[in-house]
Structure 1
Amino acid sequence: MSWKPGDRRESRTAMVRVDQAGEYGATRIYAGQLAVMGDRTTAARTINGMANQEEHHRAFFDAMIAKRGVRPTLLQPFWDVAGFGLGVVTAAMGPQAAMACTAAIETEIDLHYQQQLEQLGDEDPELRDAVARFRDEEIEHRDTAIASGAENVPAYPLLSGMIRAGCRFAIAVSKRI
């Protein structure tokens, strides 16, 4: 069953657009964190490994945007600055806050990718398989962040809630703009 105007499910175009924007945003968050943390700590080395995976995800969606003729989000310049800024702020708060950022975002991305997988079903194997593979890696990032003390940050529920709300907002507007 293909997407039609008025369908409440996301179109494949919107999926590719928002996924590319999200993976781009993730690379910018990690770049901001690493700009503050450098490579001096175990947390920074862990973040660098996750950043490399996010770069691979972004490259896949960049290629898919070109291959499928999907218009990228017009908000990319904003996500560039906002993502880098979020990375800088959370890293400046300390390694556990940087991990709290990852845990919050990857929690939302897990839900987002799961919803896409349910909508795709057996359709579009190229997109479905990539989303499934990347979702597994995002879950690993979340679990690594939690194991690294993300939940030990003072006011973790507040910080996590704010970041998760921002992530949901970014997903919603990147689908359309």
Structure 2
Amino acid sequence: MQLRLSKTDQLLVGVDKALRAIVPHSNPSTRPLPVTSDVLPKLSITEARHVAGLMRINHTGEVCAQGLYHGQAFSAKNDAVRQSMQHSADEEVDHLVWCETRLDELGSHPSIFTPLWYALSFGLGAVAGAISNEFSLGFVAETEAQVSEHLQEHIARLPEQDTRSKEILAQMDVEELHHRELALASGGAALSPTVRRTMRWLANRMKDTAYHL
């Protein structure tokens, strides 16, 4: 039988999850890096900075995913959707750790605006969850589709010899698309073109900022 937490305990768990999303190295990974070699690729200073910028974007994307899922779980209208949101967030913790690890290897750091990205995403997720289950799941599906697009774009922009980053992003892409399929199969509704364009505009502003900061 599943233990039901008190409101206070639920709040404390939520705060813990939020802190783990925004504080680097606060999450244990349940899986090792999805790479075929432990040898770090040799990169020039310019290449390393470029790769770090791309990985910082992807790390920020995973922070945003945590915020969205946590916000949707917070306002979901039934337990099944709430548990589905939390399960997806838990699965993507590994992505967060993988990006942090690669940033460490490159001698770089996550975005300095990480707390802001999380807070904005939590708010968006909470609004989506409050509208309806179908909209909330559709929001997840569209988010994962756009994440997959920029992962594939980044793989193409990486230096040829950086197979390590490419393998990490390729595995993340597989799992993001799987989450999209689950959301659609669970009843996610197609979003309007206006909502999709707005999501893409916001994502592009985040990417432009996180690449540098």
Q: Specify the TM-score bucket, using the shorter chain as the normaliser.
A: 0.7 to 0.9
Task: State the match for 1:11 in structure 2.
Answer: 50
Task: State the match for 1:61 in structure 2.
Answer: 99
- The question of whether the paired residues in 1 share the 8 Å contact of 2:128 and 2:136 is answered with yes
Among residues 146, 151, 166, which one is paired with 2:184 in the alignment? 146
Structure 1 regions of 5+ residues with no counterpart? none
TM-score of the two chains, using structure 1 as the length reference: 0.84
Runs of 4 or more off by more than 3 Å in structure 1?
1-5
- Alpha-carbon distance in 2 for matches of 1:2, 1:62: 18
Cα RMSD (Å)? 2.3
Structure 2 regions of 5+ residues with no counterpart? 1-41
> Compared with structure 1, are the counterparts of its residues 121 and 140 closer, same or farther at alpha carbon in structure 2 (3 Å cutoff)?
farther
Structure ranking higher in helix proportion: 1
- The question of whether the paired residues in 2 share the 8 Å contact of 1:101 and 1:163 is answered with no
- Alpha-carbon distance in 2 for matches of 1:86, 1:137: 22
Task: State the match for 1:136 in structure 2.
Answer: 174
Structure with larger Rg = 2
How far residue 42 of structure 1 moved from its aligned partner, in angstroms, is: 2.5
Report how many aligned residue pairs link the two structures. 171
Secondary structure in structure 2 of the residue aligned to 1:63: helix
Superposition map of 1:1-177 within 5 A: 11-37=50-76, 40-120=78-158, 122-152=160-190, 156-177=192-213
Q: Percent identity?
A: 22
- Alpha-carbon distance in 2 for matches of 1:2, 1:152: 42
Secondary structure in structure 2 of the residue aligned to 1:150: coil
TM-score of the two chains, using structure 2 as the length reference: 0.71
How far residue 66 of structure 1 moved from its aligned partner, in angstroms, is: 2.5
